[in-house]
Structure 1
Amino acid sequence: MRGRQVFFETLLNHGVDRIFGNPGTTESPLLDSLLDYPQIQYIVHLHEGVATGAANFYAQASGKTAFVNLHVAPGLGNAVGMIYGALKNNSPMVVTAGQQDTRLRLRDPVLGHDLAAIAAPVTKWSVQVETADELGPILQRAFKIANEAPAGPVFVALPINVMEQETSIPAGKPGHSFAATRPDPAGIAAMARLLLASTSPAIVAGDDVARAGAGDTLVKLAEKLGASVWFEGLRGRNSFPTDHASARGTLAFDAPGVAKQFADNDLVLMVGGPFFEEVWYAPGSPFPAGCKALQIEAAPSRLAYNFALDAGVVADVGAGLAALDVALATVAGKEFDAAAAKRNAALQALKESEAAAQKARVEKAWARTPTSMARAMAEIRAGTPENAIMADETITANLDLFKTFTFAGADDYFSGRGGGIGQGLAGAIGVAVAQPKRPVLCLSGDGSSMYSIQALWTAAHHDLAIVFVILANREYRVLKHNIDAYRARFDVKSNKPYMHMDLGSPTMGFVDMAKGMGVAGTYVAKADDIKAAVAAAFKTGKPHLIEIEIEGKR
């Protein structure tokens, strides 16, 4: 059996039915063998970064291990930023790249480099296969490491001659491992005691809650506690229904900001995340004085990583939450239940107040020209089917997005983590491949979209029903906000303009770009036309781009 046959048989053994890739010469053994393996579909992309970004979101939306094939050193280099995003997203992913013939190693061949070294900083494990005998075992190990908590990408370099070598070592097979850990009863009991004594608990729902399918358990626990529920500042999944009374929104990007949001809480329970990813340095703790900190994590490496805990438990996230729910039911009494009910009523009143405030915000901005972000979101929401999935990269429009759209389930919302831009359009491809029966809405700013605009061609090529909405404010708005923050934080007295942050000279024509890649497009300048344009785009059942002119930074 040749190495390339071992390669494909190993993929089939591990349930791979998609390869996200950009073809190249050193990938010839893979490409030439695809017809022999019709069970595997090759999702072709025009850029390695787009292929990797699509695979990242595919892993999240499918629950499978994503598989990527890139092209030698420059191709891997093109993908490094998106691999970083997958690492931050904790996406189980096996990334491969074709490598030059190992017999050329000392001759410094064209496109040659140490691929494993390039990928190592942004992966859990990085290795090159040296002989065909290693191919099955290495790929088997790659799938294992990619899926161990916390999940993430691994990298395997595949020299072209190794793929053609003969071997008697068979294809790798997945082990039937039952790795979900059960919580230590003593730890759960300690948490229950602390929660029972709390008068104002809060919960931070990390992405692992969604991955574990533990959203319903978390809802039950939040209601039992009368706890507010927060999301991390950047999140890739929806771990708690956003229209629930307990849902409070996203946390700030610096420690004092988070502490301010927790100011009325005497206990914070963190579940399934890295806690906390900050943008700006500021001294102090994210917890107010006297606040207890609890944490449940599937991976020991995450527990108490950034701060001391009053109680921490290593366990499968779903099992940990369920055990905590049972423990509280055992010890809670009428007095605790009454206090929790009172807190739930207060959270419901706060939710209604915030909804009224958003309604007033939209009404105040209703007639502005160009269209305000608040109204744009309201109109987009009105034109979007109820069962649509969101692939989000709105960044500065996040506030209005989350106050306008509601996301009930774990598979209703996907976004990128790590802060690298360009993940939205690429990621929408992966979501659509993973969830072909549901319409996909991709929201992106104009600046972000240009990092992965080639995704439009892939959407047309594979006939993916994605509505791409580009919010065109002709600027890197987030950078303008951040330079304001920089000046304030470092006491920089300045009335200088925002240098190199405007995108209007020349103005980018997204409808024309989409047309050039086989995607129909609609340009919308008036707010009154947004709802109809979005609804019409979804009715086509085809990829469609809508460019909406919105206001810039005011």
Structure 2
Amino acid sequence: MPSMTGKQALAHMLVAEGLEYIFGNPGTSETPFLDVLQDYPQLKYIQALQEGTAVGMADGYARATGKPAFANIHIAGGLANGISALYNAHRGGTPLILTAGNSDTRMHLADPVLTGDLVQMTAQYTKWSAEILHASDIPVAVRRAFKEAKTPPTGPVFLSFPWDTMDDLADVDITPSSTGYYRIRPDTDAIAQASKLLAQADNPVIVVGDRVAQSGAMSQIVGLVERLGAKVYAESYSEVNFPTSHRLYAGILNLNNPATAKQLAGADVVLAVGANVFNSFLYVETPFLNSATKLIHLDSSHKEVEKIYATEVGILADPVAGAAELTDALGQDMSASAKEAAATRAATYADERRRSDERYQDRLKDLMGRSPMAVEEMMLELAKACPPDVIVADEAITSRPALNRAFKFDEPGSFYGIRGGALGWAMPGALGVKLANPDRPVLAIVGDGASLYTIQALWTAARYNIPVVYAICNNQAYRILKVNMDIYLQRMLEDKERESEYVGMNFENPLNISAIAQGMGVSAEKVEDPKELGPALQRAFASGKPALIDVSIDGSL
């Protein structure tokens, strides 16, 4: 076995894993690693100005490539800055290896400045968290980290590298993690029971989640849906889990609203695939599923099956394999009358979808031409002016419903959104998505408040000429907080009289985000007239450089 320093072993392992980018915010505790990188030019270091930006870029890159990404940030103080982005990766299941340097182990009894228990800081938001104390252990740790990150259910891991570990010499074996084979087939008895329930159902409903997209199961889900003639809801939609223009797609469930229970109330069988059933942010007293509804849950995450709701059939399997086998079983189990009923259901739901779309188009007519611009008009103008192969990175927050109405996301990999809820994903996440898709245009649609959490990403975009176009939904407020304040007063407290002053929710000093972008080297312009938005977007894409459009929109409730 070759003898080398710990820092060399780490670099060799990253090369062996086929890594192209290191997303980092450098600090002194990472000095040994930063030193060795100049000897490995195939490892491209993408510099961020804040730790959350580095982790956000890695998150976007990992999601867009489907492979583990690697981020390196700074000891305890810097790691704390990156934990909000790590939380998003944890909640969403992003395969990501987060690393940080730590103080020399010979100093630990002296309680050195900036040090801390980095493993404890990250353990609750990772699949595995460890500090590597011996240079000889670095290849084993890195190999395990990549394996853990990419094994379904995927997720982030953390490794801490003390200074002396990086400089120590050791004999090491540089062998990367093996190719994973994760198409786990379902139990045949479980498929048989699920097929029997669904074949006999009068009103089946399918609920999809992000692990559908992560496993690449969209086409299998479409086939299953069409066989059943079932309405489809998304429990989450941070990636393309189902084509949004499909006639049986009914939208994203609002899991903070008790009215959602009414949407599911008529279902005698609910099939959840790759979904968390159901996680809310606000307390909702009414269960989303009633006791008469039978739940079937097909998932690669055993922790999510029967986590909250009683489950008739739990199926632990890869969504691709599970959905395909369930569709085949239904082909055998559905009687002629059941197939006819499925066709009738599908026609009925398609007609409901058509009429809903027509009502929305009628409402749009009243919103056009307003000043300030209605967000619905903003999204329509963006959708009309976008290149056909655009990828959208979304953190539009309260502007998202209008985005979802204006754009069609029918192709896997054409949409990525924030997941986990910690604001600040899209500014850096879009850069990671673009690095993973250099030949496709990327449009990041971001709320003004959300953009400020990681606005430093604009500097990185300019530094490396990563040509993402940003469209900022500038409503001069944390509008989501206003929405939730109204829910709190009117629904939770049932107080119809009290009028909130929305303390701390308005940006009384206007945010000139276009000026901030220009200060970081990114071309930017401010748009107030809807007629100017399409041409501005076309100019931005044509420039071949990062650009930002600061769009003034109506933020009234």
Shorter-chain TM-score tier: over 0.9
Cα distance in 2 for partners of 1:177, 1:421 equals: 32
SS in 1 for 2:89: helix
Match of residue 516 from structure 1: 519
1:255 CA displacement: 6.8
Identify the residue that residue 81 of structure 1 maps to in structure 2: 84
Indicate whether 1:191 and 2:165 are aligned: no
Q: Does 1:491 find its partner at 2:504?
A: no
Distance between the aligned counterparts of 1:189 and 1:217, measured in 2? Answer: 18
**Could you say what secondary structure the match of 1:262 adopts?**
helix
Deviation at 1:176, TM superposition (A): 4.2
For residue 416 of structure 1, what is the aligned residue in structure 2?
418
Q: Deviations over 1:305-344 (max 9, x none)?
A: 1111111111111000000011011122321221111111
Give, as a single letter, the amino acid of the residue that structure 2 aligns with 1:325.
T
Show the counterpart of 1:207. 210
159-168 vs 100-109, greater mean Cα deviation:
100-109
Query: 2: distance between equivalents of 1:147 and 1:64?
Result: 7
Rounded Cα–Cα distance in structure 2 between residues aligned with 1:29 and 1:409: 43
RMSD of aligned C-alpha atoms? 1.4
Moved more, 186-195 or 533-542: 533-542
- 1:423-473 deviations in Å (ceiling 9; x for gaps): 111211111111111000000111110001011111111111211000110
Distance change in 2, residues 1:179/1:382 (3 Å) = closer
CA distance in 1, matches of 2:537, 2:83: 34
* Secondary structure class of the residue paired with 2:548: strand
User: Corresponding residue for 1:45?
Assistant: 48
Q: Deviations over 1:525-552 (max 9, x none)?
A: 1112111111211111211000010001
Q: Is the 8 A contact 1:83 1:122 kept in 2?
A: yes
Deviation at 1:64, TM superposition (A): 0.8
Counterpart of 1:261 in structure 2 is 263
8 Å CA contact 1:259, 1:286 repeated in 2: yes
User: Which whole-Å CA distance do the structure 1 matches of 2:293 and 2:372 have between them?
Assistant: 45
Q: 1:386 to 1:155 in 2, by over 3 A?
A: same
Give, in angstroms, the shift of residue 485 of structure 1: 0.6
Q: How many Å separate the matches in 2 of 1:396 and 1:284?
A: 24
For 2:243 and 2:511, locate their aligned partners in 1 and report how far apart those are by CA, in whole Å: 37
Cα offsets for 1:276-310 (capped at 9, x unmatched): 12022122321134111111011222211111111
Maintained 8 Å contact 1:56/1:86: yes
Q: 1:201 touches 1:268 (CA, 8 Å); kept in 2?
A: yes
Residue in 2 that maps onto 1:352? 354
- What SS class does the counterpart of residue 204 from structure 1 fall into? strand
Deviates more, 1:273-282 or 1:54-63: 273-282
Call closer, same or farther: CA 1:247–1:238 in 2, change over 3 Å. same
Q: Structure 2-normalised TM-score?
A: 0.97
Contact 1:239 1:409 in 2 (8 A): no
**What pairs with 1:472-551 in structure 2 (closer than 5 Å)?**
472-488=474-490, 489-492=492-495, 494-503=498-507, 505-551=508-554
Number of the residue aligned with 1:431? 433
Report percent identity of matched pairs: 37
Q: Pick from 14, 31, 43: which aligns with 1:28?
A: 31
- Partners of 1:539 and 1:502 lie apart in 2 by 35
Identify the residue that residue 458 of structure 1 maps to in structure 2.
Answer: 460
Gap regions ≥5 residues in structure 2: none
Q: TM-score, normalised by structure 1?
A: 0.97
Q: Which moved more, 1:18-27 or 1:259-268?
A: 259-268
Asked whether the equivalents of residues 298 and 314 of structure 1 are also in contact (C-alpha less than 8 Å), the reply is yes
2 CA distance for matches of 1:334 and 1:106?
A: 75
* 1:127-142 alignment, distance < 5 Å: 127-142=130-145
How far did residue 490 of structure 1 move? 2.4
Q: Which runs of no fewer than 5 residues in structure 1 stay unpaired?
A: none
Q: Deviations over 1:97-117 (max 9, x none)?
A: 011111111122222111111
Report the equivalent of 1:8: 11
Matches within 5 A, 1:148-547: 148-232=151-235, 234-254=236-256, 256-488=258-490, 489-492=492-495, 494-503=498-507, 505-547=508-550
CA contact (8 A) 1:205 1:239 kept: yes
1:165 is aligned with what amino acid? D
Q: CA deviation at 1:35?
A: 2.5
Question: Is the CA contact (8 Å cut-off) linking 2:443 and 2:470 kept in structure 1?
Answer: yes
Distance 2:65 2:387 in 1: 21
Query: What are the Cα deviations for residues 181-221 of structure 1, in whole angstroms up to 9, with x where unaligned?
Result: 21111100101100111111111111111111111111111
Equivalence for 2:59: 56
Letter of the 2:39 partner, please give it. D
Shift of 1:352: 1.2
Offset of 1:171 from its aligned partner? 2.8
Cα offset, 1:237, TM superposition:
0.9
- Counterpart-to-counterpart distance in 2, 1:332 and 1:496: 55
State the distance in 2 between where 1:544 and 1:417 align: 24
Residue 286 to residue 52, structure 1, CA distance change in 2 (3 Å): same
Q: In 2, Cα distance between the equivalents of 1:495 and 1:355?
A: 33
CA–CA distance in 2 between the matches of 1:161 and 1:553?
A: 56
Q: What is the number of equivalent residue pairs in this alignment?
A: 552
C-alpha distance in structure 2 between counterparts of 1:126 and 1:544, whole Å: 37
Q: In the alignment, is the contact (CA less than 8 A) between 2:183 and 2:320 conserved in 1?
A: no
Does the 8 Å contact 2:390/2:440 carry over to 1?
yes
- Out of 38, 61, 75, the position equivalent to 1:72 is 75
Amino acid at match of 1:58: Y
What is the distance in 1 between the residues matched to 2:277 and 2:21? 32
Residue 498 of structure 1 aligns with an amino acid whose one-letter code is Y
Distance in 1 separating the partners of 2:409 and 2:281: 26
